[in-house]
Amino acid sequence: MSAEAYLPDGSRSVGALRAAAERCEGCDLHQRATQTVFGEGRVRSPLLMLVGEQPGDIEDRTGRPFVGPAGKLLNEALDAVAIDRRSIYVTNAVKHFKWEGRGKLRLHKSPSAREVAACRPWLLAEIAAVRAKILLCLGATAAQSLLGPSFRVTKQRGEVQRGPDGQLIVATVHPASIIRIGDEEERREAFDHFVDDLRSAVASVPH
């Protein structure tokens, strides 16, 4: 069955969506994941909703989004722009961890376009329930899930876009891409640019 079949009837609150998503078998990713990892944070019209790609290994084990290394870097960036993480909503475009084994390690594997599309109803339902003033997509998977496959973060990073239902959307890189930069100076520059994107996204909200 598709993800639409698992969406709850009646109330589409974040709590109802989270409970329903735990049963979702809309694609094969649920078979190897420990659990569904739904979004968390302020659920009533926050200033900002962050959308990442998918849970990682630590997120899969804990059931919470952005609590691994990328989450720690995200927290540092939020602190740099004086945003309390509890005041925003954080989620992922895909709700199950896709991985491949290497010895005892479970390594991240990017979700396919079909898997992203299968999970899209959950993301759209979250967006409708949360009603954030602006969405910030972290990485290409998140951006393309809402803005289409032709969207390129490298070319359109930081630009204010309109989502499927008119939402304000800005895209930037995923924090994990900053962690992977080997040169310390380049990594610091990339982090500063990421912080600037956060600041610009917040500043673009109409008053």
The CATH code of the domain that includes 44 is 3.40.470.10
Q: Within 10 A of 195 (CB to CB), how many other CB atoms are there?
A: 17
Q: What residues form DSSP beta bridges with 162?
A: 168
**Tokens encoding 45:** 């019209």
pLDDT, residue 159, reads 93
pLDDT, residue 181, reads 97
Question: What's the domain count of the chain?
Answer: 1
pLDDT, residue 10, reads 78
Rounded to whole angstroms, the Cα distance separating 130 from 76 reads: 24
Domain hosting residue 122, numbered range: 3-203
Q: What is the mean pLDDT of residues 142-160?
A: 94
Q: What residues form DSSP beta bridges with 136?
A: 50, 170
Report CA-CA distances (Å) from 106 to 100, 101, 109, 176, 177: 6, 5, 9, 16, 18
pLDDT cut 70: percent of the chain above it: 100
Helix, strand, or coil (residue 140): helix
pLDDT, residue 99, reads 94
pLDDT, residue 104, reads 87
The pLDDT-based confidence of 206 (bands split at 50, 70, 90) is: confident
The pLDDT-based confidence of 46 (bands split at 50, 70, 90) is: very high
DSSP secondary structure code for residue 49 in this structure: E
Rounded to whole angstroms, the Cα distance separating 124 from 197 reads: 23
